[in-house]
């Protein structure tokens, strides 16, 4: 087999464009919370995002709703993540607020409102944001990152920080730094992607009347199966996995799968985007033909990229495993709690879903150590690429959990920056106290109060998966 041709790039002298205390790579839920937390706690912070807006999968991929913030009884995701959810509800207008104010599970995402909320909250924290920028090279000094080479319309330059937070979702910074990682299952299989989209022209009242009269499950499994048997929809998922009513006429969809996609490969993302748009056309025809209330819908927006559920998982100081999830384990270094069910989507059209729920009111701890990548002292990884086995990644990966992990990473970075140390040298009890003081939930321990107001934790008409 012939080796690919290579080219040696001449050495370059690059200017140092930014010297913050903390740099955050990735402006999704994880990076937003990390940047806000680091800046609020006194660290000069730079958030770098490849697109022209924040939000990650919730805005770029149009994931239609936030996964649950609660364990079925109380919110376990609080702090920055819960505050951002509340701010989106209030900024989305009186109708949206009236419908969803008390709901914490499966709240629909008003994408354009959420973009503005994220902009405002990150800037209000004091963090600096740099859009349309990627980090494509890591400069190393032993076990430390000494700088990042960034590229954008202004050219290439170097960012030098004390601490680095990888909130890319794909552990991009960790991988560039040489951190060991795993990808997918035993045979490299990955969860499929989904091209989400938003339609207008729907009639919520007509749809709800149809559901009430027929008793049909709102995820429309029998209709999807019938259309698949007719060749009108491809084989695979047997029901609509997510349908979120943003208004009485605007609906977001998480519907169907694109298989064999590696979200770390540009070629796969390109193919997935094209296949995803073709699949949306078939789904729109299905909805118009079979689902009352959707006869006159019009596609207004498809995702800028396909929604990605799974790529790399780093090797950290601790690997969170399925036994920890099932036993609802608590760790001495907990920085968050998780109650979302294990949700591994089928790897191909003929395989099956894996879903495991915890009992209502229960959760497990997320230890700080699973965010600490092996071999690096001033790098922390937060979000869906933390150190876990594959089943637990299928639970941790959703946006509310990413907010919680990002907040912990940001507070830890501010502490390490202030003390002039690496991430492993900060006081864990001090980190936990700060998180609790700032509103995070680490379990039902003395001094941790439940939410002051009553909330509806599951007031949706059907269960969704992300």
Cβ neighbours, 10 Å, residue 1: 3
SS3 213: helix
Rounded to an integer, what distance in angstroms lies between the CA atom of residue 264 and that of residue 69? 28
Tell me if 360 sits within 8 A of 143, measured CB to CB.
no
pTM: 0.95
Residue 278 is assigned to a structural domain of this protein: yes
Query: Is residue 182 located within the same domain as residue 221?
Result: no
Name the one residue in this structure whose structure tokens are 């807006």.
53
Helices 221-229/266-290 angle, 10° precision: 100
Asked, for residue 87, whether it belongs to a domain, the answer is yes
- Which of 125, 92, 126 is closest to 108 using CA atoms? 92
For residue 179, tell me if it sits in a domain.
yes
Angstrom distance (rounded) from CA 386 to CA 324: 15
What is the reported pLDDT for 238?
Answer: 79
Query: Beta strand 128-130 with 354-356: parallel, antiparallel or unpaired?
Result: unpaired
Distance CA 49, CA 132 (A): 6
Domain end marker among 280, 302, 324: 302
Q: Is residue 458 part of a domain?
A: no
Residue 463 lies in a domain: no
Pairing verdict, β 181-183 and 163-166? unpaired
Question: Same structural domain for residues 168 and 317?
Answer: yes
pLDDT at 454: 47
Q: What is the pLDDT of residue 449?
A: 36
What's residue 2's pLDDT? 65
3-state secondary structure of 58: helix
- Any domain includes 385: yes
Task: Report the distance separating Cα 396 and Cα 358, nearest Å.
Answer: 13
Q: In the chain, how many domains are there? A: 2
pLDDT computed for residue 186 by the predictor: 86
Kindly give, in sequence order, each residue whose CB lies less than 8 Å from that of residue 230, ignoring residues fewer than 6 positions away: none
- Long-range CB contacts (within 8 A, 24+) of 217-224: 217/462, 218/243, 218/461, 218/462, 219/243, 219/462, 219/464, 220/290, 220/291, 223/286, 223/290, 223/291, 224/286
Euclidean distance between CA atoms 275 and 306, whole angstroms: 10
| SS3 assignment, position 300 | strand
**What length is written for the chain?**
466
* Burial tier of 343 (Cβ tally within 10 Å: 0-12, 13-18, 19+): buried
Tell me the sheet residues that pair with 181: 314
Provide the token pair at 270. 């390109």
Give me the pLDDT at residue 348, please: 65
| Per-residue pLDDT tens digits of the chain, which is 466 residues long | 567 899 999 999 999 999 999 999 999 999 999 999 999 999 999 999 999 999 999 999 999 999 999 999 999 999 999 999 999 999 999 999 999 999 999 999 999 999 999 999 999 999 999 999 999 999 999 999 999 999 999 999 999 999 999 999 999 999 999 999 999 988 889 999 999 999 999 999 999 999 999 988 777 889 999 999 999 999 877 788 889 999 999 999 999 899 999 999 999 999 999 999 999 999 999 999 999 999 999 999 999 999 999 999 999 999 999 999 999 999 999 999 999 999 888 766 555 557 789 999 999 999 999 999 999 999 999 999 999 999 999 999 999 999 999 999 999 999 999 999 999 999 999 999 999 999 999 998 633 334 344 445 544 444 567 7
Residues pairing with 380 in the sheet: 165
Q: Which H/E stretch holds residue 211?
A: helix 204-214
What domain range is 336 assigned to? 16-186+311-437
Q: Which of 256, 280, 302 is the last residue of a domain?
A: 302
Residues 85 and 228 in one domain: no
Q: What are phi and psi of 250, to 5 degrees?
A: -115, 125
At residue 217, the pLDDT reads 75
- The structure tokens 């036993």 sit at 327
User: What is the pLDDT, as a whole number, of residue 451?
Assistant: 39
Same domain (yes/no): 116, 237: no
């Amino acid at each position: 087999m012939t080796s690919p041709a290579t080219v040696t790039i001449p050495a370059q002298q690059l200017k140092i464009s930014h010297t913050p205390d903390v740099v955050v790579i990735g402006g999704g839920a994880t990076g937003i919370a990390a940047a806000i937390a680091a800046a609020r706690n006194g660290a000069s912070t730079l958030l770098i995002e490849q697109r022209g807006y924040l939000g990650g999968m919730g805005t770029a991929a149009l994931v239609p709703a936030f996964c649950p913030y609660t364990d079925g009884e109380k919110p376990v995701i609080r702090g920055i993540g819960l505050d951002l959810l509340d701010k989106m509800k209030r900024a989305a207008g009186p109708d949206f607020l009236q419908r969803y104010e008390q709901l914490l599970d499966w709240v629909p995402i008003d994408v354009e409102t959420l973009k503005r909320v994220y902009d405002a909250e990150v800037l209000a924290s004091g963090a600096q944001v740099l859009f349309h920028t990627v980090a494509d090279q890591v400069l190393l000094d032993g076990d430390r990152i000494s700088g990042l080479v960034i590229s954008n319309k202004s050219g290439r330059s170097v960012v030098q920080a004390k601490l680095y937070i990888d909130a890319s979702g794909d552990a991009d910074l960790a991988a560039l730094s040489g951190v060991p990682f795993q990808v997918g299952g035993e045979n490299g299989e990955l969860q499929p992607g989904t091209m989400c989209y938003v339609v207008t022209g729907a009639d919520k009242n007509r749809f709800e009347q149809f559901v009430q009269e027929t008793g049909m499950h709102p995820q429309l499994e029998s209709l999807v199966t019938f259309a698949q048997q007719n060749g009108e929809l491809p084989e695979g998922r047997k029901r609509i996995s997510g349908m979120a009513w943003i208004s009485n006429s605007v609906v977001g969809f998480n519907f169907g799968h694109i298989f064999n996609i590696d979200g770390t490969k540009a070629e796969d993302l390109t193919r997935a985007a094209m296949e995803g748009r073709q699949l949306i056309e078939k789904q729109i025809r299905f909805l118009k033909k079979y689902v009352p209330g959707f006869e006159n819908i019009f596609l207004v927006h498809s995702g800028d990229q396909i929604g990605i559920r799974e790529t790399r998982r780093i090797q950290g100081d601790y690997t969170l495993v399925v036994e920890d999830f099932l036993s609802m384990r608590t760790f001495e270094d907990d920085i968050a709690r998780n109650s979302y069910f294990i949700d591994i989507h089928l790897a191909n059209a003929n395989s099956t879903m894996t879903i495991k729920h915890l009992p209502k009111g229960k959760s497990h701890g997320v230890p700080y150590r699973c965010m600490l990548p092996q071999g690096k002292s001033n790098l922390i990884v937060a979000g869906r690429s933390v150190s876990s086995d594959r089943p637990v990644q299928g639970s941790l990966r959703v946006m509310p959990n990413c907010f919680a992990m990002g907040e912990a990473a940001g507070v830890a970075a501010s502490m390490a920056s202030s003390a002039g140390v690496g991430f492993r040298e900060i006081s864990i009890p001090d980190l936990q106290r700060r998180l609790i003081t700032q509103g995070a939930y680490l379990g039902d321990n003395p001094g941790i109060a439940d939410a002051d107001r009553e909330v509806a934790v599951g007031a949706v008409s059907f269960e969704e998966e992300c």
